[in-house]
């Protein structure tokens, strides 16, 4: 069950920095020394073998495209997180990981944007936001950035020194730390609520908002921005939370048959399962990178049967008509015949 | 051709066995026919080896040669017609020498020589066309028109079982282990099978004798390996690549691995084990080499992809070899001993410089992958050392049941049973494993029971001897019969080594073994019924049903 090898290039880990007790930043160079071409905010999908299983996960790049020789990802330990925890436990400088080319629509070039940017992030959602910030500071002379970062306490602030450095060096970069337990003067206390949002964002006119973090966090940020009258086209959100966790479709407990004729497989699946989970359990070589309907890596074609689709983000109209779906964002509701 | 010795032989609703222009293994009809002639010639040699012994005439060279050449006909070993013919002619030269000495001894003693079997009288044709014309006479199913199907099935069970034992005898001999009485028993059975026996009870008895013979051979092999390389100890093995030039050693021959390690020491070339060579890491005298860096790949049926991806030289020391041209690595794979493939370089003697030069010319691994370490080396001694702790955990109720899940791997999708079985086994059960069937699950996390790993890798297929010793020790400790232990055997078979291990287990009285993924093509429904009745032998069912049945025993 090897994914298409041509999609992956060997990336060599060149460094590892412990950011917090449960988070580390890893830097990579391409094994063939070629520079990386990407847009600030994009991610790379890595292939990681965990317990004899090849898994694919997307990690946002925290580095800036201005320094194309290396890329960096920041990984946080999560309960039950197979890949992230494996990388934190085992990945060291010198190790090779296969990675796909950078991709993703959540980025500073493709998303409609103004010069004044609000970057709202929490936890490991900081990664695409700091990449966008670094790139804008280098390439947008007229830019103004409000960088709002939420964490439980100061010890959990990822890239704390880098944030302080940017704030100290560049007056266009304003840092707002929102901490459950403030640690120093200027830290804002509590969870990000409407009052706190309004306190930080005094004016919305002419501003663009990017947000990345847990689903509930982003939903709140987007709601506050809407309430303040920000136009929808200037509000952008990223998400790497598994679609199944978001949408956990209610299950009737009914059993269905999932067939993949080209792979000679027929397995029993349960109503409410995501198609991606079912295909992975059946040992089908599907790549589920972002697992949230963003990256498009798990595109597959339904030859028969229907699913409940929560995202068709990367699919064209023609593809949808032809039965293509994103496996991660498809909840099984009937017998299915599927092709990769 | 007619060949039905392995698990992926052609099976149709009406017929079983490969009988067209090529076997499922890739063996041509011509090579298959020559192998039949070789086996028939060897049965003739064994006839005189047996007779000569009545006068105390023992030729160690013959005792070594016959099992070795027989091994060449095992599945996925030798696909070179010329070498098979060479072995057959050598067999008849040895037969003629023994016959001469035997007849002379008869004359001297005033005895009438025993009437030779047809196999002992058989003369190979002088040329290739003549040999092929003779093949039907030597076919393994010769006389099938007039012989009862059950008789034929038992003949083949015995022949293939003895072939497996022969392979282990050759492995033992390489380690300096030969035994005159074992050789005598081997020749007796080989010669008898050459007489085309037709009595069911005698054949069934012979199958048990082969099992018993193999038990002694496995003990010799165990002794040879542990005396030469030390007792295996639990050892962590990296199953991921490290940067550098590389040689991959596959098959079973630990002596070849040691020679390669000695000759590559200090060259910067890293050595990896493949398949059944994995247990080598547990032996102190092999593990001491720092450049034995890890294990690469999985079971034999994946070699056409895995070897193709291996950026170095490859040495195949014994079975299983499959067509190297599919993956286009025929120019960097080497065969040893009885192994052969047309056009592939064969290394005679102890000099591996050609292999080393080949490895130097290849790119080698360029990068280090994230290491993944698995534990091997639960051989006889390690198991015995762990036995008191294991017994304590059983008594405390922390270990409920043992499963021995092992045997050969293959490419049928039904073999996912074995992966599923180990994954479904409850947390308070321990899984012993051996042979290449383990590659379906040995990289998965199993955890431990108060420090005792839930997955214990005992070693190669022949290390089933260690598993038997553990079972005997547990039976003694709990003062019960081996069949009363909370232990079930779930075996996977592919070739003839697995057949003989099964015969050994049956001959030791081990009952209720489950075998899969399918029934050997040479066994009739009647014979299966007999094996079920006598030994409780069954084929695998569904994981859920099988587990439920087995665990009832320890409920």
pLDDT, one tens digit per residue, over B489-510 is 999 999 999 999 999 999 999 9
CATH number of the CATH domain containing A285: 3.10.20.30
The DSSP string of B496-548 is HHHHHHHHHHHHTT----EEESS--TT--HHHHHHHHHHH--EE---HHHHHH
Considering only CA atoms, which of B346, B310, B441 is closest in space to residue B78? B346
Task: Determine which helix (DSSP H) or strand (DSSP E) holds B549, and give its type and residue range.
Answer: helix B543-552
* CB nearest A95 (choices: B370, B416, B445): B370
Does residue A325 fall inside a structural domain? yes
pLDDT of residue A249: 53
Q: Kindly report, residue by residue over B450-480, the tens digit of the pLDDT.
A: 999 999 999 999 999 999 999 999 999 999 9
- How far is Cα A213 from Cα A124, in angstroms, rounded to an integer? 7
pLDDT of residue A246 exceeding 70, the answer is no
What radius of gyration, in Å, describes the C-alpha atoms of chain A? 21
Phi-psi sector, A139: left (phi>0), alpha (psi -120 to 50), beta: alpha
* B 365-394 residues inside an 8 A Cβ radius of A: 366-372
Q: Collect contacts of B300-303 with beta carbons under 8 A, ≥24 apart.
A: B300/B76, B300/B250, B300/B275, B300/B409, B300/B436, B301/B409, B301/B410, B301/B411, B303/B250, B303/B274, B303/B275, B303/B327
DSSP letters spanning A15-82: EEEEEETTEEEEEEEETT-PPP---TT-EEEEEEEETTEEEEEEEEB-S-TTSTT-EEEEEE--TT-H
pLDDT average, residue stretch B4-32 = 91
Residue A71 CA to residue A58 CA, distance in Å, equals 13
pLDDT-derived band at A312 (thresholds 50, 70, 90) equals: confident
Question: Quick one: which H or E segment has residue B347?
Answer: strand B345-347
Q: Does the beta-carbon distance from B445 to A96 stay under 8 Å? A: no
Give the distance, in angstroms, between the CA of residue B555 and the centroid of all CA atoms in the same chain: 35
Q: Are residues A271 and A222 in the same domain?
A: no
Domain count, chain A: 3
Interchain proximity B370–A12, CB inside 8 Å: no
Out of B370, B372, B444, whose CB is closest to A91? Answer: B370
Is the domain of A146 the same as that of A214? yes
Nearest to A51 among B370, B413, B443 (CB): B443
**Of B315, B303, B46, nearest to B163 (Cα)?**
B46
What pLDDT sits at residue A247?
A: 41
What H or E segment, with its residue span, contains residue B406?
A: strand B401-407
Helix (H) or strand (E) holding A96: strand A95-99
Average pLDDT (B181-203) is 98
**What are the helix and strand counts (H, E) for chain B?**
18, 17
Q: Which of A96, A266, A281, A284 to mutate to test the interface with B (most CBs of B within 10 A)?
A: A96
Question: Residue A164 — pLDDT band, cuts 50, 70, 90?
Answer: very high
Assess contact for A123 and A76: CB atoms under 8 A: yes
Is residue B313 within a helix (H) or strand (E), and if so which, with residue range?
Answer: strand B313-316
Contact B264, B271 (CB under 8 A): yes
Considering only CA atoms, which of A285, A281, A274 is closest in space to residue A326? A274
Of B369, B441, B443, the CB nearest to A95: B369
Give the nearest chain A residue to B242 (CA atoms).
Answer: A95
pLDDT > 80? residue B194: yes
ipTM for the predicted complex: 0.78
Identify the pLDDT of residue A113: 96
Structural domain ending residue among the three candidates A238, A268, A284: A238
| Same-domain pairing of A231 and A296 | no
Q: Which of A87, A90, A283 sits opposite B371 (nearest CB)?
A: A90
| A1 has a chain B CB within 8 A of its CB | no
Does A61 map to a domain?
Answer: yes
Distance between CA B405 and CA B194 in Å, rounded? 35
| In a shared domain, residues A131 and A234 | yes
The per-residue pLDDT for A4 is 54
Instruction: Verify whether the Cβ–Cβ distance A10 to B371 is below 8 Å.
Output: no
- pLDDT of A311 above 90: no
| B369 closest CB neighbour out of A31, A86, A96 | A96
Q: Is the pLDDT of residue B417 over 90?
A: yes
Question: Given phi > 0 = left and psi -120 to 50 = alpha, else beta, which region is B332?
Answer: alpha
In the stretch 19-38 of chain A, residues with CB closer than 8 A to chain B read 31
The distance of A262 to chain B (nearest Cα, Å) reads: 14
Contact B466, B380 (CB under 8 A): yes
Contacts of B130 (CB under 8 A, 6+ apart): none
Can you say whether residue A229 is alpha, beta or left, with left for phi > 0 and alpha for psi between -120 and 50 degrees? Answer: left
d(CA B332, CA B550): 46
Residue that terminates a domain, selected from A99, A129, A146: A99
Residues B129-163 pLDDT 10s: 999 999 999 999 999 999 999 999 999 999 999 99
Measured between beta carbons, the chain B residues lying within 8 angstroms of A24 are none
From B432's Cα to the closest Cα of chain A, the distance in A is 19
- Residue A170's φ and ψ, nearest 5 degrees, are -135, 115
* Residue B458 distance to chain A (closest CA, Å): 20
Cα radius of gyration rounded to whole Å, chain B: 23
Q: Which residues of A touch B443 (CB under 8 A)?
A: 51-52
Point out which residues pair with A274 in neighbouring strands: A331
Q: How many CB pairs under 8 A join A and B?
A: 33
Tell me which DSSP letter residue B3 carries. B
B413–A contact, CB cutoff 8 A:
yes
CA distance A7 to chain B (A): 17
Q: Do A90 and B444 touch (CB under 8 A)?
A: no
Return the structure tokens found at B267.
Answer: 């060259």
> In b/e form, how buried is each residue of B320-348, taking b as 16+ CB within 10 angstroms?
bbbebeebebbebbbbbbbbbbeebeebe
Tokens representing B368 are 């280090």
Compute the average pLDDT of residues A71-86: 93
Residue B555: what pLDDT? Answer: 65
When the pLDDT of each residue in chain A is averaged and rounded to a whole number, the result is 90
pLDDT at B88: 98
Asked if B244 and B296 count as a contact pair (C-beta separation under 8 A), the reply is no
Task: Measure in Å the smallest separation between the Cα of B418 and chain A Cα atoms.
Answer: 15
Q: CA-CA distance, A58 to B263, in Å (whole number)?
A: 45
A11 CB contacts (<8 Å, ≥6 apart)?
Answer: A28, A29, A30, A31, A44, A46, A71, A96, A97, A98, A99
Contacts of A202 (CB under 8 A, 6+ apart): none
Pair A74, A33 in one domain: yes
* B32 exposure class (CB count in 10 Å sphere: 0-12, 13-18, 19+): buried
Average pLDDT over residues B288-305: 96
Are A211 and A157 contained in the same domain?
yes
Pure H helices in B367-489: 380-395, 416-424, 464-477
Cβ pair A96, A13 in contact under 8 A: yes
Distances from the Cα of B3 to the Cαs of B22, B77, B521, in angstroms?
10, 14, 10
Measure B368 CA to nearest chain A CA, in Å: 5
Which has the minimum average pLDDT: A99-103, A279-283, B512-516, B545-549?
A: A279-283
Residue A244 lies in a domain: no
Question: Which of B366, B372, B441 faces A49 most closely, judged by CB atoms?
Answer: B372
A243 touches chain B (CB under 8 A): no
CATH of residue A43's domain is 2.40.30.10
- The alpha carbon of residue A65 and the mean position of all alpha carbons in its chain are separated, in whole angstroms, by 17
In a domain, A243, yes or no: no
Contact A10 B444 (CB under 8 A): no
Using a CB-CB cut-off of 8 Å, the residues of chain B touching A95 are 367-370
Q: Which segment of A263-272, B245-254, B354-363 scores lowest on mean pLDDT?
A: A263-272
Q: Check B367 against A96: CB less than 8 A apart.
A: yes
Same domain for A177 and A219, yes or no, is: yes
Please write down the HEC assignment for all residues of B231-289.
CCCCEEEECCCCCECEEEEECCCHHHHHHHHHHHCCCCCEEEECHHHHHHHHCHHHHCC
In a domain, A108, yes or no: no
Residues of chain A contacting B368 with CB distance shorter than 8 Å = 94-96
H or E stretch including A325? strand A324-326
Q: Which two tokens stand for residue B120?
A: 């002992």
Residue A328 falls inside a structural domain: yes
Give pLDDT tens digits for B166-179: 999 999 999 999 99
Average pLDDT over chain B, rounded to an integer: 96
pLDDT at A280: 86
DSSP B132: H
Q: Is A262 on the interface with B (CB under 8 A)?
A: no
CA A303 to chain centre: 30
CATH number for the domain including A145?
3.40.50.80
B108 contacts chain A (CB < 8 A): no
Domain co-membership, A124 together with A203 = yes
Do A179 and A137 sit in the same domain of this protein?
yes
Contact between chains at B367 and A95 (C-beta distance less than 8 A) = yes
Q: What backbone torsions phi and psi does residue A175 show, to the nearest 5 degrees? A: -100, 130
Q: What is the mean pLDDT of residues A333-339?
A: 91
Q: Is the previous residue joined to B320 through a cis bond, with omega within 30 degrees of 0?
A: yes
* Chain A interface, best mutation among B238, B366, B367, B417, by max A CB count within 10 A: B367
In a domain, A161, yes or no: yes
Helix, strand or coil for residue B19? coil
**A30 burial via Cβ count (<10 Å: 0-12, 13-18, 19+):** middle
Question: Taking CB atoms and an 8 Å limit, are B443 and A31 in contact across chains?
Answer: no
Q: Kindly identify which residue of chain A lies nearest to residue B367, measuring between CA atoms.
A: A96
Domain identity same for A33 and A64: yes
pLDDT (0 to 100) of residue A270? 87
For residue B422 the two structure tokens come to: 């180990």
Q: Which of A31, A52, A283 sits opposite B366 (nearest CB)?
A: A31
Token readout for A114 is 């103004």
Nearest to B427 by CA among B443, B395, B410, B450: B450
Number of C-beta neighbours around residue B481 at 10 A: 10
Q: How far is CA B400 from the centre of its chain?
A: 31
Rounded-to-integer distance, Cα B43 and Cα A260, Å: 50
List the beta bridge partners of residue B405: B490
Q: Is the pTM of this model over 0.90?
A: no
Quote the CA–CA distance of B283 and B225 in Å, as a whole number: 9
CB atoms within 10 A of CB B412: 16
Lookup: tokens for A200:
């930080």
Residue A120 lies in a domain: yes
Rounded to a whole number of angstroms, the distance from the CA of A244 to the nearest CA of chain B is 24
Q: Do A331 and A284 reside in the same domain of the chain?
A: yes
pLDDT score, position A266: 84
Helices (H), A170-265: 194-200, 215-227, 243-247
Residue at token pair 């193999």: B214
A-chain residue closest to B298, CA distance: A52
- Return the axis-axis angle of helices B200-229 and B180-193, rounded to nearest 10°: 150
pLDDT of residue A140: 86
Tell me if chain A has a CB within 8 Å of the CB of B545.
no
State the residue range of the domain holding A54. Answer: 5-99
- Under 8 Å between Cβ of B333 and B324: yes
Is residue A1 predicted with pLDDT exceeding 60? no
Based on the domain organization, do A126 and A221 belong to the same domain? yes
CB contact under 8 A, B443 and A91: no
């Amino acid at each position: 069950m090897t994914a298409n090898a041509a999609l992956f290039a060997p990336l060599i880990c060149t460094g590892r920095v412990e950011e917090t007790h449960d988070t580390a930043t890893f830097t990579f160079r391409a094994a063939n020394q070629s520079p990386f071409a990407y847009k600030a905010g994009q991610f790379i999908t890595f292939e990681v073998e965990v317990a004899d299983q090849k898994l694919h996960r997307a990690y946002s790049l925290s580095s800036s495209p201005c320094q194309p020789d290396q890329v960096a990802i920041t990984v946080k330990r999560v309960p039950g997180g197979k890949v992230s925890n494996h990388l934190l436990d085992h990945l060291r400088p010198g190790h090779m990981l296969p990675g796909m080319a950078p991709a993703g629509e959540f980025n500073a070039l493709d998303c409609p944007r103004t010069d004044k940017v609000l970057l709202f992030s929490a936890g490991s959602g900081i990664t695409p936001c700091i990449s966008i910030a670094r790139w804008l500071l280098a390439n947008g002379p007229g830019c103004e950035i409000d960088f709002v970062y939420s964490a439980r306490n100061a010890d959990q602030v990822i890239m704390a020194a880098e944030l302080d450095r940017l704030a100290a060096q560049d007056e266009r970069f304003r840092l707002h730390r929102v901490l459950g337990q403030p640690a120093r003067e200027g830290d804002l206390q509590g969870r990000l609520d409407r009052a706190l949002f309004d306190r930080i964002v005094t004016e919305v006119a002419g501003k663009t908002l990017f947000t990345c973090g847990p689903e509930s966090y982003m939903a709140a940020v987007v709601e506050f921005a809407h309430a303040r009258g920000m136009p929808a086209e200037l509000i952008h959100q990223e998400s790497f939370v598994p679609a199944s966790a978001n949408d956990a479709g209610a299950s009737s407990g009914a059993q269905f048959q999932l067939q993949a004729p080209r792979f000679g497989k027929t397995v029993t699946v349960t109503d409410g399962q995501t198609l991606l989970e079912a295909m992975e359990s059946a040992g089908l070589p599907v790549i589920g990178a972002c697992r949230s309907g963003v990256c498009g890596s798990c595109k597959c074609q339904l030859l028969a049967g229907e699913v409940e689709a929560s995202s068709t983000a990367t699919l064209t109209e023609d593809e949808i008509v032809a039965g293509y779906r994103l496996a991660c964002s498809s909840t099984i509701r009937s017998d299915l015949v599927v092709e990769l | 051709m007619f060949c039905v010795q392995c698990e992926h032989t052609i099976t149709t609703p009406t017929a079983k066995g490969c009988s067209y222009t090529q076997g499922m293994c890739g063996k041509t009809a011509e090579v298959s026919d020559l192998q039949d002639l070789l086996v028939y010639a060897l049965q003739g040699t064994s006839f005189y080896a047996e007779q000569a012994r009545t006068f105390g005439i023992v030729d160690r060279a013959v005792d070594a040669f016959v099992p070795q050449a027989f091994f060449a006909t095992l599945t996925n070993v030798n696909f070179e017609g010329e070498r098979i013919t060479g072995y057959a002619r050598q067999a008849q030269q040895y037969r003629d020498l023994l016959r001469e000495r035997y007849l002379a001894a008869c004359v001297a003693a005033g005895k009438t020589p025993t009437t030779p079997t047809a196999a002992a009288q058989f003369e190979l044709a002088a040329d290739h066309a003549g040999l092929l014309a003779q093949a039907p006479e030597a076919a393994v199913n010769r006389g099938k028109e007039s012989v009862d199907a059950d008789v034929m099935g038992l003949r083949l069970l015995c022949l293939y079982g003895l072939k497996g034992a022969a392979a282990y005898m050759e492995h033992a001999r390489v380690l300096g282990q030969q035994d005159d009485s074992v050789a005598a028993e081997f020749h007796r059975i080989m010669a008898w099978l050459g007489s085309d026996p037709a009595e069911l009870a005698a054949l069934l008895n012979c199958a048990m004798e082969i099992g018993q013979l193999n038990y002694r051979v496995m003990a010799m092999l165990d002794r040879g390996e542990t005396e030469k390389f030390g007792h295996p100890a639990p050892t962590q093995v990296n199953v991921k690549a490290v940067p550098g030039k590389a040689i991959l050693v596959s098959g079973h021959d630990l002596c070849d691995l040691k020679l390669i390690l000695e000759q590559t020491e200090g060259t910067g070339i890293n050595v990896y084990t493949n398949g059944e060579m994995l247990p080598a890491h547990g032996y102190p005298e092999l593990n001491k080499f720092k450049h034995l860096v890890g294990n690469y790949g999985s079971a034999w049926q994946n070699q056409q992809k895995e070897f193709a991806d291996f950026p170095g030289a490859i040495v195949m020391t014994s079975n299983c070899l499959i067509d190297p041209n599919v993956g286009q690595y025929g120019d960097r794979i080497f065969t040893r001993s009885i192994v052969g493939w047309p056009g592939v370089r064969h290394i005679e003697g102890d000099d591996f410089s050609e292999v080393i030069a080949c490895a130097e010319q290849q790119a080698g691994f360029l990068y280090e992958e994230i290491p993944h370490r698995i534990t091997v080396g639960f051989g006889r001694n390690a198991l015995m050392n762990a036995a008191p702790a294991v017994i304590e955990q059983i008594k405390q109720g922390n270990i409920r049941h043992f499963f021995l899940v092992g045997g050969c791997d293959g490419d049928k999708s039904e073999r996912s049973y074995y992966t599923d079985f180990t994954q479904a086994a409850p947390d308070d059960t321990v899984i012993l494993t051996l042979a290449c069937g383990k590659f379906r699950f040995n990289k998965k996390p199993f955890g431990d029971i108060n420090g005792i790993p839930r997955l214990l890798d005992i070693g190669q297929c022949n290390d089933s001897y260690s598993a038997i010793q553990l079972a005997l020790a547990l039976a003694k400790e709990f003062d019960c019969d081996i069949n009363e232990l909370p232990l079930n055997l779930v075996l996977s078979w592919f070739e003839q080594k697995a057949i003989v291990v099964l015969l050994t287990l049956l001959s030791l009285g081990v009952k209720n073994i489950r075998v899969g993924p399918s029934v050997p093509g040479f066994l009739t429904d009647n014979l299966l019924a007999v094996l079920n009745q006598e030994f409780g032998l069954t084929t695998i069912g569904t994981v859920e049903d099988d587990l439920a049945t087995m665990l009832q025993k320890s409920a």
